[in-house]
Structure 1
Amino acid sequence: MQPLLKTEKISKQRADMLLQFPLNKDNLQAFTQYQELLQLKGYSPQTLKTYCNEFHLLLRLLGKGKVSGMTKEGGRCYSATRLNTAINALKFYFEQVLNRGREFYDLPRPKKPKKLPTVLAESEVARIILQTKNLKHRALLMTAYSAGLRVSELVKLRIKDIDPGRMMIHIREGKGGKGRMVPLSQTLLETLRIYYQQYKPGEYLFEGENGGPYSARSAQEILKKAKRWAGIQKKGSIHLLRHSYATHLLEAGTDVRYIQVLLGHNSLKTTLRYTHVSKLKLGSIQSPLDRLKLE
């Protein structure tokens, strides 16, 4: 059989493509090496899936041609609509798997539209939390907002990551495998104590029915339902709460450089979407959750 991502469900259209464009022996070996190196380097599951999908599609389209013999000029004809991702996937193969030079670094890339993130008002966040009657679901949403977490960070939080002594949350599995510390909201801590007594989770703070971490899809569905119950039409996933967290900190006067640290951004440019500068110390930052009226 040809290699496929283990968790991927195959549609009829994709099945037809697999039959119509089989991988040759050399490209099959290249794809196996590609997957193994991505995993070895510790790329996130989402990045691994995205890169492998793009690389896999390219291998199919090459037919009998060997990917190792592909030139930069050949790459110019590939998938303009997903050119940025495709180029990154190709760069990884040639630069990391084959240890060749930066052959694809100067391919023209389409400019990404500069979109401002959608943000909830503090009153809207409060409505979402108040309309979530299930204690576990409420605690999950409060945790996501209070610390500005990505959904992958949220579902991987362990009980030991909550440090009430220092009033900090230790995010061990951030993007790119980087850990960071964020302040623990007093309001969140009180809710988590009640939640823990009632649900008694084992290892992970939020666990599925059969143990193990809560699924990202389930977490997203919780927010989707909560927004509907609160009558909020704004689009967005758990990342909507992360954007709101950053913006609310900014509006409260938190220095953008501290927000960069709290969000775990590599570059300040990423954080400058919420740009504003003021003078505060990290230890004095109050979580925006503590300013909400939840009673």
Structure 2
Amino acid sequence: MRIVRFFKDGKQGYGLLANDADITVRTEDEGFGPASFVEALAGGEAGLANFAVALQAGPSIPLDSVDLATPVPLTGKLICIGANFGKHAAEAESVFTPGKHATFFLRVADGVVSPGAPLIKPKLSNAFDYEGELAVIIGTAGRHISVENALDHVAGYSIFQDGSIRDYQLEAPQWTLGKNFHATASLGPAFISADELPAGAKGLRLQTRLNGELVQDASLSDMLVDVVAAITTLSSVMTLEPGDVIAMGTPAGVGFFRKPQLFMKDGDLCEVEIERIGVLRNRVIDEA
């Protein structure tokens, strides 16, 4: 199933993609707000199936008649993995030394915008870099999840653009500031249930384009820490809960390590595409 969250006429709701152009919808005044989707995620496959059946019973409207929101409401955790593709880790070796454990960090909801919404290049920096990533959406909660059961806790997938302010990221002992500027990341366009994709999304192709130019191109099979390993590692530290998002890291080709460097600026169009998931598009504007 393919599900979107949207705003229309001052209301939000959820829609089930019937095809590439139409969605069947239910709105928050019918009980289909963000909390209802998180509840469906918590219910596992049966919860999602029931949610989809209810959406299917709603009226059909054109997809382009709504404003898309992030598929999940970002009321839970947003956990990211750094340097998780071998070639990207290699290009970053001058500024990053891997440790015994994988590099995880958190992003806050204030830094994430919806599909189609503008990414904001901050006043404080010109080093606004793109990062296309797979987003893993957690369904049923778990702690100390085994390798064998890890994918049972994945409700589905989406796309994340982990926009990074490189000088603030790399000129500090840890990455929090550079990874959390207001409205520098995005998530969407849709939630794709796990049963529609290969296990762990392995083998799918990720591409990032800036103004139509291909700048990143890799297989998700190239991730050093795959979805199973990310879930087992994180759940050994914290409880993973319905609606949590794990952003799985970006491949080589980021702007900081290009010669000359390539950063996003006002008017640019950033597109992240993952096959069988979709395309996440956002324009860049200068901070007012």
> When the two structures are superposed, what TM-score results if normalisation uses the length of structure 2?
0.20
Greater share of strand residues, 1 or 2?
Answer: 2
Query: With CA pairs under 8 Å and 6+ residues apart, which has the higher RCO, 1 or 2?
Result: 2
> When the two structures are superposed, what TM-score results if normalisation uses the length of structure 1?
0.20
Greater share of helix residues, 1 or 2?
Answer: 1
